[in-house]
């Protein structure tokens, strides 16, 4: 069953995000902003608008790198270093 | 281990500008924006208090907050293309953080993620921060936690209970978003009609994403049981016999 689910997921997500993100709208554009416009509200520019050329790519790269680093740092601490300590405790 | 490392690498190294579930800046009228701030604020305060309380009891808790807080941030700005819908969306991640950090703490990590995204990533908005915190943080966390506990009560194994949490938290987060929009914007159209239209429009994208989120959460819980069962015992997710 788990293999079947994974197979379904891979069929549903065959394209790399980089190829698709530039062509396809996000659901906020396709749903949230579309319905809001139909109901008389339009989105306004963010107060701190980083959506200017490659600046947004830069901040996303920075955010992804920072988030990935924090996650990896604590992952190592919890699942690698502490696992060894727990195994030693278990042997005692 | 390898699939999880690969996933972490994917999330860390291929971040892309994302346009997804969060309600964009300016969409909620002023009164509704304030109302959702007022509704979400007590949950954020409760979460902050719970994190401090648990940190005093168990200093290792902060490491878990670091992992799953960062995971929520990265998950919720990672666009996944869904070919059947022709659009992209992202998982919420709050089901996972709610199980491993607790519901209130999960609201705090969602709030911080949404604040950073609204400030620097042109994603979501400051005026809609309360609404987005309520849907992704409060509804996503507590619905995921409830689904997980219900599945465990029904003797579901760890993977399938996590799967249920992922699906429920994702789908109900979007129900929260649709409800907030419908309440604020339905005008003369019946509320339920607008709610139904918005929620159904999310579904072609969100059903596959929710399945993916379920698989990730189920897999993550199985991984934690294999490598650090003591964490799950401490959180009373599994018993000592299940280790």
Residue B2 lies in a domain: no
Enter the pTM of the model: 0.84
Give the A:B interface size as CB pairs under 8 Å: 226
Res A50: pLDDT: 85
Q: State both tokens at B130.
A: 């309360």
A10: number of CA atoms within 13 Å, CB side? 6
Residue B140 lies in a domain: yes
Tens-place pLDDT, residues B80-121: 888 777 788 888 889 999 999 999 999 999 999 999 999 988
A10: contact with B, CB 8 A cutoff:
no
Buried b (16+ CB within 10 A) or exposed e, B15-36: bbbbbbbbbbbbbbeeebbebb
Enclosing domain of residue A85: 51-92
Tens-place pLDDT, residues B15-28: 444 445 688 888 99
Strands annotated E in chain B: 80-82, 87-89
Of A5, A18, A75, nearest to B14 by CB-CB distance is A18
Number of domains, chain A: 2
Pairwise CA distance, residues B243 & B214, whole Å: 22
Q: Which of A9, A15, A31 to mutate to test the interface with B (most CBs of B within 10 A)?
A: A31
B51 vs B88, which has greater pLDDT? B51
A54: contact with B, CB 8 A cutoff:
no
Pairwise CA distance, residues B164 & B166, whole Å: 5
Q: Which of A28, A73, A76, A85 to mutate to test the interface with B (most CBs of B within 10 A)?
A: A28
Residue B19 lies in a domain: no
Across A38-42, B2-6, B129-133, B206-210, the highest mean pLDDT is recorded for: B129-133
Measure Cα distances from B162 to A34, A68, B97, B98, B150 in Å.
33, 23, 11, 11, 11
Res B9: pLDDT: 44
Residues A58 and A92 in one domain: yes
Residues A61 and A78 in one domain: yes
pLDDT band for A92, please (50, 70, 90 cuts).
very low
Tens-place pLDDT, residues B146-177: 999 999 999 889 999 999 999 999 999 999 99
CATH of the domain at B66: 1.10.1760.20
Residues A37 and A66 in one domain: no
Enclosing domain of residue B92: 24-242
Residue of B nearest to A71 (CA): B67
Q: How does DSSP classify residue A62? A: H
Report, as an integer, the average pLDDT of B222-232. 90
pLDDT band for B184, please (50, 70, 90 cuts).
very high
B18 vs B225, which has greater pLDDT? B225
Q: State both tokens at A48.
A: 């701190």
Of A9, A24, A74, nearest to B215 by CB-CB distance is A9
Q: What percent of chain B has pLDDT over 90?
A: 63
- The ipTM is 0.78
Measure Cα distances from A19 to A13, A54, B9, B83, B87 in Å.
12, 16, 18, 12, 12
């Amino acid at each position: 069953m788990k293999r079947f689910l994974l197979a379904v997921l891979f069929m549903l997500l065959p394209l790399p995000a980089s190829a698709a993100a530039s062509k396809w709208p996000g659901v906020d554009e396709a749903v949230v902003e579309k319905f809001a416009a139909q109901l008389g509200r339009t989105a306004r520019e963010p107060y701190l608008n980083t959506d200017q050329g490659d600046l947004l790519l830069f901040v996303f790269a920075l955010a992804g790198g920072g988030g990935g680093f924090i996650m990896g740092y604590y992952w190592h601490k919890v699942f690698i270093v502490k696992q060894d300590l727990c195994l030693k405790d278990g042997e005692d | 281990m390898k699939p999880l490392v690969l996933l972490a690498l994917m999330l860390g190294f291929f971040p892309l500008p994302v346009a997804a579930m969060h309600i964009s800046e300016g969409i909620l009228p002023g009164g509704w924006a304030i109302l959702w701030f007022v509704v979400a604020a007590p949950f954020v305060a409760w979460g902050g208090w719970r994190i401090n309380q648990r940190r005093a009891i168990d200093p290792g808790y902060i490491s878990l907050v670091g992992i799953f807080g960062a995971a929520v941030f990265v998950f919720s700005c990672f666009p996944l293309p869904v070919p059947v819908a022709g659009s992209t969306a992202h998982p919420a991640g709050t089901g996972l953080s709610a199980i491993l950090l607790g519901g209130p703490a999960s609201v705090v990590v969602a709030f911080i993620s949404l604040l950073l995204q609204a400030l620097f990533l042109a994603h979501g908005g400051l005026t809609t921060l309360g609404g987005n915190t309520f849907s992704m943080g409060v509804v996503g966390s507590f619905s995921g936690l409830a689904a997980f506990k219900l599945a465990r009560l029904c003797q579901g194994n760890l993977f399938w209970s996590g799967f249920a949490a992922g699906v429920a938290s994702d789908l109900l987060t979007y129900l929260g978003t649709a409800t907030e929009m419908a309440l604020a914007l339905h005008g003369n159209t019946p509320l339920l009609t607008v709610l139904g239209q918005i929620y159904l429009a999310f579904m072609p994208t969100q059903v596959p994403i929710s399945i993916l989120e379920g698989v990730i959460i189920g897999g993550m819980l199985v991984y934690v049981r294999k490598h650090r069962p003591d964490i799950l015992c401490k959180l009373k997710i599994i018993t000592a016999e299940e280790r």
